[in-house]
Every structure is written in C-alpha cells, then in structure tokens.
Structure 1
Amino acid sequence: MCEQHDQQGPSDVRATAPDVGRRALVRGAGGLLLGGGLVVAGAGAARAATSQNGWPASSSPSAIGITGLTVAGHAFPSGVRGGQVHTILGYVARRFHSEVEALVTPGNWGYNYRVISGSTSLSNHASGTAIDVNAPRHPLGSSGTFSATQVSRIRSILSSCNGVVRWGGDYSGRKDEMHFEINVRPGDSRIAPLVAKIGGTTPAPTTAWSTVQSGASGFRVTAIQHLLRARGQSLTVDGVFGSVTVSRVKAFQSSRSLLADGVVGPKTWVALVVTVQNGSSGQAVVAAQKALTARGYSLTADGVFGATTASKAKAFQTSRGLLADGVVGAQTWAKLTI
C-alpha cells in the first residue's frame, strides 16, 4: 500500500508536513507496522480529527460511514467513505479497471486510520477518501510504472472529475502512482455536480425519465437493448420490446435488487445507463450514438466514442441546457431518452 503523503496539498488545503526520513509503513491489524516490525496500536488516534484533505477522520469506521467497495469482483479491504465519496472513488476505480489496467487481487486498498509517514497529519485513507489500485505493480516512490497510453487514460479520468480527484503520480516530490484521493474539502461546490454527472445517484426529481415497456418500439427500445448487452444480457437488438427483452430486463432488475416487472422506468434507467465519453467503446457507446442520431445529431454508430461523438454529445447537451462536457452520464441519458 502507499504512504499517502502531503508533499503538495489539494487545491484548497495547504499541507506543511516535511517529506523527510520516512520508513516504510504497511497495514497492521489495529495499528501501524513500522519498517522494523513494531506495531503501534491505534497510531494517530489522538491526532487531528480530519485527514490531510480536510475530511473528518476516525479510528472507528462506522463513525464516518465507511462502506464496502468492490469493483469488477475486486474488493477494496475496509471500504471507503460512503455517499458521494463512494460514488466518486468507485467511478475512478471502475474506469481505471476498464480503461487503464485490469484490477488485481490482492493489491487494492481503501480506509486505513493512520498518520502520513514522517508527518503529524492523518492520511486521507484515515477519512476513507483515498484508494490505492494495483499496489504491487505501482510501488511507492516509483515513477513511470504506467505507459504513456495508460497515463493519458488516467488524465482523462481526472479531467472528468473536475479537479475533485488527485493522482499520486502528480505529487511534486516522491510519486505514489497507485494512489487516488479526494482533492477538495467536504461541501465543495464541485462535488454534487460531479456525482450527478457520473450517474452515481438518482438524478434530482426535476429530471424526468421515460417509461418503456412491452409493446414499445423505436430508438428508446434500441438504446435499452444495447445497454442490456453492455450489462451482460444476451439479446438481439431489433428495437422491439418483446418477450425476450422483457425477460432480459427482469433478469437485470433482479441483479440490481429492483422490482423485476420488466418495465424500464426511472430506477431501472438509472441502474442501466453506463457513463460513456471520449475513449469509451462498446455497446453503451452504440446506444448513445443511436440515441443522438435519433435526436437529430447524426453520426455513425460504430461503438467508438471519438471526437465526432464527443462533438455531437456536446451540441446535444447545449441544446438541453446541460453542462456541455461531452460526457454522456445520467443527466444526458435522461434527456436523450425522454
């Protein structure tokens, strides 16, 4: 795991701890295991109640709402902070897995109550606002553990997070390329829009979704069928909501603990849509491209989200009063399919 450190504070938090004399720290049950093998139980327990990025921290996971995080079958032991943080870090981890490098187990970490080595500040892991991914492949202090293409994809993820997330590979001193952390204080004005954009929560009640069910036909059904395929359901895309589509919708709903009625209403839409953007590919991109075409923004449905698809998505978003970022998240999906 990393020694999350504060050589350069987040945009609104100026860290002052020196980067000197750090010994290796690894997780120990109930404390910190120092390089010499000494376990310090409850290390940092008497320190400040906020982590380096300003989020409340606690040695009691339940006190700060730590909840489990699993991505593509790979668990982050001890989980991360619930709510908006869980949505954001889960989004980062899922995109990392699908676009940068497949996650491996063991090697992914979340909450851990401890101080930053060589500092008096609590690690951002102590507030559940940081994750490490594929730690054995990207050891602390190593630079260049990702290829240029992988770094470009990491940059795309960070860009989509609007400054809310920082990567340890961008530290000004010792690099920590396994590490991603929340980079703003609680309540920052960028958090809620980001969560809404990436589809982590049900959109506000003012955002309407269509209801599509057996007997329907057209581009909404086509989008649903492609999205079902993206979610692992096997069916033919024919734009007709027949018995097979009903069956696959029910199977998907059951997998998400939704009412398995075969009707694609707001809750099913929110669970079904996949956030796609520049660099994405696959069935969800085809669904977005066909929906954009149906809305008058014609383009080839080739399943590759490139510059043309991004341009058309931005034009559609502008026409609907949405943030024109070219990212097709829940809010944009709702407008596309209403």
Structure 2
Amino acid sequence: MVTRRSLLGAALIGLVPGSSAKTAPDAIEEFRIAGSAATVLLRRGPAAAVLLHVCRRWHYEIAPLDTGEGGVTGYTTDRTTAAGFETNHRSGTAVALYPRAYPLGGSERLWPHQEAVVRDILRDCEGVVVWGGDLSPVKMSHFHVVTAGATLTRVADRLDTSRHRARRRRIRRYADG
C-alpha cells in the first residue's frame, strides 16, 4: 500500500519520478498519442508508456485530444503551480487532458460513463497513476505517476505504447531562458 509516508520517503531518496529538482534535457521526448495527431512531452521510459496508455484510452473512449477543443499538456518548465501535485509536470511524469475544460478546482465534472472509463483506466494502471478527480483540490484533467521501480516497469511493459515513434526535440526549446 502506498501511503503519504512511503511517498515522502521515496521522494527524499529520489525514487519517485516527479521528485527530482531538475529534469535532464535529454530525459524528455515528444510522443505522439496513438490514434491521434496530438503529441505530448513526457519523461522517457516507463512513466511515458503508462501515461501514453492513459492518453490513448481518453482519446478513444472519452474525448478526442487532437480536435483543438481539448488538448493535452505534459512536461513544462513553468514554475507556477496552484496545487502541489501539479509539480509533476516539471518532471514529465504528469499529463492534463482537456485542461481548459477541467481546470483546478473547476465545477465541471465528467459524465458518469466517462468517470467509469477513467476508473477502468486506473485499474489498468494498477495503482501507479493517480487521477486529479480523486485529489484535493480536484482537477479532473490531471493524471500523474506515483510509483517508481519494479511495479512501474511491470505495468509499463504490459501497457507499452512505445511502438509509436517518439520525436526527439531539444528540451532547450521549451526551457525558460
């Protein structure tokens, strides 16, 4: 069972993907979300495989990510956060799907059938991903990786979407300054 205490301990010794103070530029890649024209910047490796699965399922079963209405946000260098869990974007281990439609603390909710899909996606991820709809403050668009190590690797291997080519871009293009 993952507890706040175990997560804090893992963060202190650098085991949690989002716990690093600075993300190495070569650790971030731009990935195409399967079945869509949308792309997202994520930390390369198991975290990307799991988050791409979340994105793909959302795209197919909830709402398309490439219509211009919704969109997807992954890695960012923006230091402005309104909730602690949003810092996971700075390590490339979080995504926001339709972030303008479902902002932090927003009153807009998913329809019951859409929430059932999200719950099924979370079951696919076996506890390595947390949904912002279960956090406080609520952010229905937010998903981030909370587990590192063997569990994340095992789940990522099962959900792997890496057969979809990643396009490398220099991180400096996205960095501040």
Instruction: Give the superposition deviation at 1:50.
Output: 6.3
Other-structure match for 2:57 = 95
Whether 1:109 aligns to 2:73 is yes
Q: Secondary structure at the match of 2:72?
A: coil
Whether 1:13 aligns to 2:19 is no
Whether 1:175 aligns to 2:162 is no
Q: Secondary structure at the match of 1:69?
A: strand
Q: Which has the higher strand share?
A: 2
Rounded Cα–Cα distance in structure 2 between residues aligned with 1:60 and 1:153: 34
Structure 1: where are the runs of 5+ without partners?
A: 1-8, 16-47, 203-254, 257-338
Other-structure match for 1:303 = none
Whether 1:166 aligns to 2:160 is no
User: Cα 1:51–1:115, aligned 2, differ >3 Å: closer, same or farther?
Assistant: farther
Instruction: Give the superposition deviation at 1:55.
Output: 3.7
Instruction: Give the superposition deviation at 1:174.
Output: 1.3
User: Cα 1:75–1:118, aligned 2, differ >3 Å: closer, same or farther?
Assistant: closer
After TM superposition, the score normalised by the length of structure 1 is 0.41
Q: Secondary structure at the match of 1:58?
A: coil
Other-structure match for 2:43 = 81
Q: Secondary structure at the match of 1:123?
A: helix
Contact 2:47/2:93 (<8 A) preserved:
yes
Other-structure match for 1:123 = 87
Sequence identity (%): 28
Whether 1:193 aligns to 2:154 is yes
User: Cα 1:80–1:54, aligned 2, differ >3 Å: closer, same or farther?
Assistant: closer
Other-structure match for 1:145 = 109
Rounded Cα–Cα distance in structure 1 between residues aligned with 2:128 and 2:19: 13
- Count matched residues: 156
**Letter of the aligned partner of 1:82 in structure 2?**
R
Superposed CA deviations along residues 12-61 of structure 1, whole A, max 9, x for unmatched, are 3149xxxxxxxxxxxxxxxxxxxxxxxxxxxxxxxx99698654242653
After TM superposition, the score normalised by the length of structure 2 is 0.73
For residue 20 of structure 2, the aligned residue among 50, 56, 61 is 56
Structure 2: where are the runs of 5+ without partners?
A: 166-177
Q: Which has the higher contact order (CA 8 A, sep 6+)?
A: 2
RMSD over aligned Cα, in angstroms?
A: 3.2
Other-structure match for 1:67 = 29
Larger radius of gyration between Structure 1 and Structure 2: 1
Contact 1:107/1:134 (<8 A) preserved:
yes
